[in-house]
Structure 1
């Protein structure tokens, strides 16, 4: 025989389980919309503190930490699972490797553009711009990776396999850059083929967001914070340590979209992307068919 209080308690537990079950059923749109909101909030705050570079650095780092915390909490609440892609084991090592790859890749791209005569002018810029850009790019790297690799790619891969998830998430990643002032269709496609595929490959090979976060941060920081080159079709060049003006064929320099739309960017990013995907295939990280994911209650 069960008391009325016990029946109410069981009913509450059943109701909670049903609610969690429904939440898991709609995990993709819930996580997608939530992380879009987080990314928009980070972008808005970055814009407010951008004129104050020595404030932008701590604020940006704080936003990056908050972005990681939001993603962890959302996944635990909506999917009721350990967030293994943000495991603390190997966190700094993976971010460091990603940062070295991102810095090396973009520096190599700029050197190649210079070797082929694409540099019109190179002068000193602003140390404050360097500092402020570091903060802003920290928040951008975390939230964009959490959205595109942590939510979009990860869940799509579970349903359709690695190849389809790689293609669709990369195209969507490139398409988001079409909203920029000087955006071009080729520029967005180039972003998809370079950044989108390379960052997804970095996730696939490690099953961790730390490597793509480090890679994404260093690529953007080297681009805007060090070289001060036009970034992804922005209407104004960023304030970096250097002021780099490019001129010449758009195939060489990327034109008004910036170096990311250069044909050389495709070649530079192709090498690490192929190596990462090749290693992922050898270690069995490529999902060739969908798999059912069991989420613990």
Structure 2
């Protein structure tokens, strides 16, 4: 099965990389280097396994569109999370109590780069893309979004509501970003920008993974219903609303470009054949 081959290949790099980063997390420089190395290696492995299993060029990770795609995504991701924080600060639920840790932010660059790249390759590059081939864009968005959200239930401070919020705001938005561009660089940049802004700049929890030390010493307080509680601002209604708005924007762009894929006739009958090509 090409689905299994691609998942195993990228997941193996992600696992080894995460173990390496975890082992050197006290060393900022090594954390940065190993995190970036994991991100780069995972792209090369993904490209190789797609060529091998599908006999085609992996255009979705073409180098020529990398800088522009990641740059746009980075700006959108940082802007989106900043908008969430501004709304919480306006209500008095987030404040900055001084500067945080530069070294902590540098280490988080590597951690978040590895997480953003490997997760996008797995969830949008492999799962979404292949499911979309036989089930169409809409079903692929729903199914992979749910899987992406449920995956976060394994995190330290996970909540069911947090997982649902991730499925809606991130699973849908990142999948729609891929559909709009038909490459993985925009969702990779968006994913990284969002995560790094949360942890590396504003020092909030990211998906219930525990406290972080970023550039600012931020303090979040107030009702969990609005702030996201121990899961972090990703479980805030503000994040869900902004994520849904971006999802709509990306899907309208995808429709205008003719990038939406309809469900194939007889999809159930030939799904297995498609995945085993």
TM-score > 0.5 by shorter chain: yes
Match of residue 274, structure 1, among 248, 267, 275: 248
1:1-297 matched pairs, under 5 angstroms: 26-119=1-94, 122-234=97-209, 236-290=210-264
1:28, distance to aligned residue in structure 2 (A): 1.1
1:120, distance to aligned residue in structure 2 (A): 5.4
1:90, distance to aligned residue in structure 2 (A): 2.0
Q: Deviation string for 1:223-281 (max 9, x for gaps)? A: 111111111112x3011111222111112100111100001111122222111111101
Contact 2:84 2:238 in 1 (8 A): yes
**Inter-partner Cα distance in structure 1 for 2:27 and 2:119:** 23
**Inter-partner Cα distance in structure 1 for 2:197 and 2:30:** 20
Q: Deviation string for 1:170-214 (max 9, x for gaps)? A: 110011100012111000000111111111111000100011111
Contact 2:145 2:171 in 1 (8 A): yes
- Which stretch has the larger CA shift, 239-248 or 164-173? 239-248
Cα RMSD after superposing both structures: 1.9
The count of residues paired between Structure 1 and Structure 2 equals 270
**Inter-partner Cα distance in structure 1 for 2:51 and 2:124:** 17
Unaligned ranges ≥5, structure 1: 1-25
Aligned-partner SS, 2:194: helix
Bigger Rg over Cα: 1
1:121, distance to aligned residue in structure 2 (A): 5.4
Contact 1:31 1:151 in 2 (8 A): yes
TM-score by length of 2: 0.93
Contact 2:123 2:144 in 1 (8 A): yes
Aligned-partner SS, 1:82: coil
Unaligned ranges ≥5, structure 2: none
TM-score by length of 1: 0.87
